[in-house]
Amino acid sequence: MIDTNIHTLGALKAAGYASKSIKTELRDNLIAALKAGKPSFPSMHGYEHTVVPQLERAILSKHNINLLGLRGQGKTRIARLMIHLLDEYIPVVAGSEINDDPLAPISRYAKDLILEHADNTPITWLHRSERFYEKLATPDVTIADLIGDIDPIKAANLKLNYADERVLHFGMIPRAHRCLFVINELPDLQARIQVALFNILEEGDIQIRGFKLRLPLDLQFIFTANPEDYTNRGSIVTPLKDRIGSQILTHYAADVKTAKQITAQEAQKLDNRICEVHVPELAKDILEQIAFEARNSEYVDAKSGVSARMSITAYENLISTAERRALLNNEQSTTVRFADLMGMIPSITGKVELVYEGEQEGSSFVANQLISEATKTLFLTYFPKIEKLKKADQVTPYDGVVEWFTQNNALEIADETDEQTYLRTLHGIEPLKALIERYQPRVASEDLPFLMEFVLWALVEFKRLSKQKTAGGMSFNDLYDSLLKGI
């Protein structure tokens, strides 16, 4: 490792420093990581056998990369993780606008400085955290933003005419020399701006207002794009696609277990919570299953996708719903309840794009429908199937619970009821406790109340009980009692 206390060009040469391109740098550090058995893209759950191997092959091939996938699939996160494959520090000519390599300067400023000071040329060190540039492609992005333009103020201050290249103001791309440069949502970039990238990707030339500069820029380009963009807003022009070495498709988590890992990793951790909130594993499973149901829903636009951010923000809202109730009841700890899932609806409605049928039904209806479908899906993994049609003499495991409601009419659970009242209410349903003891005997005691309430909600979804929203919570009733009231 080179000594970062070196501050002159002569000392850098004496230390034996050798220049290398950023793509070689990435390749060398990836090879070292692979040989050491270290993950090249840690924390990218679900991509270990799909996306990550393709990324590693692209880096080994020294390719520019296009990450193609729906929103919320971690494309930008992947780009940012590539920083860790860079050297910790690189030397830069002091004062250079474009991070000139002291041993291979490309700008007029750096060349003149080295010519004047030789081995006494001052150098500074650039940390890898400062070698990441990111630009969101929007229709208002100009060539001047990305590549540069003539700066008349600089010309006036330096008393230079416009034929002198020192009057140029470099844009983001030249300033990202020897760095990672990310352009997000590439299809949104105007076609004429995309054309301006051709030479930079292939030959390293840049042209600014008639200046033909041979600047062999050294960059690792990473583009991101959403397949939806190709039809809705724009496209990547064919010659540009031809110059991008590897196009890698991203995807959503393949199963609930992986999705839970992603949510747990990304969910904001609020250190100032004054009460402890326990989240049962079943609650986490339902939360992730909602996203899977949304991706298959007839009401949700599949082309737009369902971002992983929906699960992350929903999880945060779920905990906050329980926390709010505990604060109202002046409790030091609480457990997430099934009814708390309703607190996630604002996170769901803002994260899904609806098709025409969904717009007609309304976003709140769709959100409730997704929770219902997730409940039914997971219920069948815990308890026996509930048949749609039941014969008159047929006995089912749920008869005792249904009979309890027939005899006791309604049971109301208030949204903001305290923990003791909530537990006393649920434990009063003896057949419900017996059902869980029979089919889920190993459930943790702290998770039991959630599972009991889960069964009640599931029996409603399978038309064995009914429920009504009350002013302060939810009322569960015998199905026929609800029908008679309707008549």
| pLDDT 10s digits, 418-444 | 999 999 999 999 999 999 999 999 999
Name the helix (H) or strand (E) containing 109.
helix 108-117
With 0-12 / 13-18 / 19 or more C-beta atoms within 10 angstroms meaning exposed / middle / buried, residue 201 is middle
Q: Can you tell me the distance from the alpha carbon of 222 to that of 246, in angstroms, rounded to the nearest whole number?
A: 10
- Kindly tell me if the per-residue pLDDT of 484 is higher than 60: no
Reduce the DSSP state of residue 30 to 3 states and report it. helix
The domain 9-249: what is its CATH number? 3.40.50.300
Question: In terms of pTM, does the model score above 0.75?
Answer: yes
pLDDT category at 329 given cuts 50, 70, 90 is very high
Contact 6, 123 (CB under 8 A): yes
State which amino acid sits at residue 162: Y
**What single DSSP character describes residue 386?**
P
Q: What pLDDT score does 471 carry? A: 85
Question: What pLDDT is recorded for position 209?
Answer: 62
**What pLDDT was estimated at residue 152?**
67
Q: How is 388-429 classified by DSSP, letter by letter?
A: SS--TT---TTHHHHHHHHHH--EEEETT--HHHHHHHHHT-
* pLDDT tens-digit readout, 47-61: 999 999 999 999 999
Region(s) of the chain under CATH 1.10.10: 383-487
Q: Which fold has domain 253-382?
A: Helicase, Ruva Protein; domain 3 (1.10.8)
Say how many C-beta atoms besides its own lie within 10 A of residue 66's C-beta. Answer: 23
| Alpha-carbon gap, residue 310 to 447, rounded angstroms | 24
Residue 164 has pLDDT above 70, yes or no: no
Q: Does the pLDDT value for residue 485 go beyond 60?
A: no
- Name the segment(s) of the chain with CATH classification 3.40.50.300: 9-249
State the Cα–Cα distance between residues 448 and 280, nearest whole angstrom: 9
Q: Provide the CA 28 distance to its chain's centre, in angstroms.
A: 28
Q: Which residues contact 256 (CB under 8 A, 6 or more apart)?
A: 285, 288, 289, 292
Q: Is the pLDDT of residue 203 over 80?
A: no
- Alpha carbons 369 and 299: distance in angstroms, whole number: 10
- Where in the chain are all domains bearing CATH 1.10.8? 253-382
Topology of the domain comprising 383-487? Arc Repressor Mutant, subunit A (1.10.10)
- What are 178-199's pLDDT values in tens digits? 999 999 988 888 888 888 787 7
Average pLDDT over residues 281-285: 96
The answer on pLDDT for 271 being more than 70 is no
The pLDDT, as a whole number, for residue 201 is 80
Q: Note the helical H segments in 187-302.
A: 191-196, 198-202, 229-232, 238-243, 256-266, 281-295
Residues 74-112 have pLDDT tens digits of 999 999 999 999 999 999 999 998 999 999 998 888 999
How many C-beta atoms surround the C-beta of residue 157 within 10 A? 10
Element (H, E) at 68: strand 65-68
- Alpha helix (H) ranges present in 143-237? 143-146, 152-158, 172-175, 191-196, 198-202, 229-232
pLDDT of 231 reads: 47
The pLDDT score that the predictor gives to residue 304 is 84
Residue 25 in tokens: 């740098």
The CA distance from 155 to 150, in Å, is 8
